[in-house]
Structure 1
Amino acid sequence: MVPLADKIRPKNIEDLLGQKHLLGKGRILNKIVNSGIIPNMIFYGPPGVGKTTVANIIAKNTNKKFYKLNATNASISDIKVIVKDLDSLLTANGVLLYLDEIQNFNKRQQQSLLEYTENGKITLIASTTENPYFYIYNALLSRVNIFEFKPLNKNNIIEGLKRALDILENEMSNNSKIICENKILEFIANCANGDLRKAINGIELAFKTSNKNENGDIIIDESIVQQCMNSSIRYDKFGDSHYDILSAFQKSIRGSDPDAAIHYLARLIKAGDILSICRRLLVIAAEDVGVAYPNAITIVKSCIDSAFQLGLPEARIPLAEAVILLATSPKSNSCIKAIDKALKDLDNKDVGEIPDHLKDGHYKGAKNLGRMVGYKYAHDYKNNYVKQQYMPNNIKDIKYYEPGENKMENAIKNYLLKILKLQY
């Protein structure tokens, strides 16, 4: 029995839902499809957004022999079978190979395609849900064009669901109908999170498990749909989405948006990834809040300790406390700028020797080497400060720490102006 998701698959570009940035009139992929001149391509994007459908449409518009493989279970021997056909009458116009989930091919398997994609005997269209810049080897990457497919929006999903219901209704006998309220379609679309295939599978399951009324009509109600659908925020602890969510999480806190920060925290909690949350919160406390509110890292550490001690679901509470604290705290990146500048100098400059008067002198013969000779003990002087050189000679005038514009660092700046007579 053919799944509903395959029955609804569009046969031409105009009927495809979403991806207007690629397939709209005048857009690059639209032009490629209509020209019939197909380059090597990788379609990158989440599941259920039309990658396979576009590949199928392209295949039908060419006069090349079409092969389809899934890298999950394919091997080099499968590639060799295709290569053997390259010089036959069936492949006189070349071969179009659609390779799904190409990220599952190792380096050797990917390299087996290089010669034939280079000479044009095989035109490769590959698809992947993972970032190709992480998973595709450079030699192959340099020979393909990458197109990113986006998650479908709610209206796209609802339109697809309506098409699916029309197909199901046309297959019913005795002029029976499917009764499904718009709010149920909206619920399915929200749960699908941009994945039309997931939405279609959900409505198909709801259709098959719903009751009929006295007229033989199928009534798809909310209780059935809730059992058929569950929200699935895309998250792979070792994949691209993991870093995307963490990136958005930190940027939202850095941007002082507590609502967005809490939203991304919820995504991470939903995935059960406490460790990544806690590590990132500690980084943010030092990198983005820093000296503007030095106690933040202490409070965040306490929240993190509490989260680990409590475990989920209660851990969500101290983690939310830490997120809101950081998002609403004054910000300063003076610490990370200072240390990164110092590290860069170590890589790019001859910084020179540590001054002799700062070197360890607590051993016999140290004075003979000039160790600690002339060193001034700061606590012996007024305000616990005495002017002396601490930097190596080669970089003695460099400043690494530049106080930020916030209450705490303004106080630091005033202290340095008063005691050290430094100008900022």
Structure 2
Amino acid sequence: MNYINSLDFAKEQDQKDPLKRFRSEFHFPNFNPNGCYYFTGNSLGLMPKRAKEAIEQELDDWARFGVEGHFHAKNPWFSYHENFKKGAAMIAGAKESEVTVMNGLTTNLHLLMASFYQPKGKRYKILCEAKAFPSDQYALESQVKFHGFDPEDAIIEIPPRIGEHTINHDDIYDALKIHGDQIALVMIGGVNYYTGQVFDMKSITEKGHQAGAIVGFDLAHGAGNIELKLHEWGVDFAAWCSYKYLNSGPGSVSGVFVHQRHEQNKELKRFAGWWGTPSEGRFKMAKGFEPAVGADGWQLSNAPVLAMAAHKVSLDLFEEAGMQNLFAKRDALTGYLEYIINDISNRNPAANFEIITPKKVSERGSQISILTHGTGKELFDFITEKGVIADWREPNVIRMAPVPLYNSFEDVYQFGQLLEAGLNK
């Protein structure tokens, strides 16, 4: 697409957008008198308008049925998690038996690592990316400490090369060759939260398995953002949150993937709970944990229905929009944002913007991160005051996520106008 930094161009693209109707499905913040240009779907997605009705349905059924809502609610709570099989499988590129929705993201990562991080002998190390999201760092550190290891020794972090911002995949592969017989687990964020870099999960999985390691991914910034083919790639396990690109509300539930090849392995160690048992025998209250087949066998407790109601609304919107349609608009919108930033930077050299997100479309999703060498926090505060909701990360990075379900080309154009106004004020 040949981009133009003009309002007419942006409006023309919005008119041609086959997904334009979905913008009206969401509430935009209205607390700023200047209006709102929302670019933090990579932190918290906007609220779907249908979410209120969906939650009220469950509240009404709670009021009407009490505990009997588990069986007599419009959407019976006993089997509520089963409503997510199709949508979660679509998001993850998985078979329905390989996915479930439960708990929160870091809780699920710990539950999965309890099963899949099993150090033995000299194979006890975890390979991850440097500058992973802090929650992942803490989870990995605590896991190796739980097994009696020193994180400084047991965790191999792969950083960007000197003078670069993203991680070179060859450095991951070289580490697997050099330390392969010591690595028990490869655990990487599929999309780096800071730069927006998308990792080649297919190749990392292949090379991790060749080295004899288990391979898992945190997909907090991947689910609903990039195309995932977890079953086809052979990933052992993955987890993701639902409150970023999946628009399911603050702190909402997490998705889990466990590859089909593990679903019959009852010898896998796990922290068990009664909802992880087969549904037909759940109320027998028998001693001795017998896991349900597939990812359901990692469940602990009955479904948090109120949070899940909003998540189901969002997954339905994704299905209505179509994943390939969303990916096409994602690339067009993100490309337009990149173009606008470069156009402003070229005409205002003092701004000295540096885009640290990969230029290759296949290596990024709905995110552009810029280093603001010449301006910094003052510029960010200015655009925030004018209605731009973006994200600041120390020391001087602005992250922006143009989300295809609800952002428009005009949003991107107006962001550029405010960004340039901040430079020239």
Shorter-normalised TM-score: what interval? under 0.3
Question: Which structure shows the bigger proportion of residues in strand conformation?
Answer: 2
Give TM-score, length-normalised by structure 2: 0.22
More helix by proportion, 1 or 2? 1
Pick the structure with greater CA Rg.
1
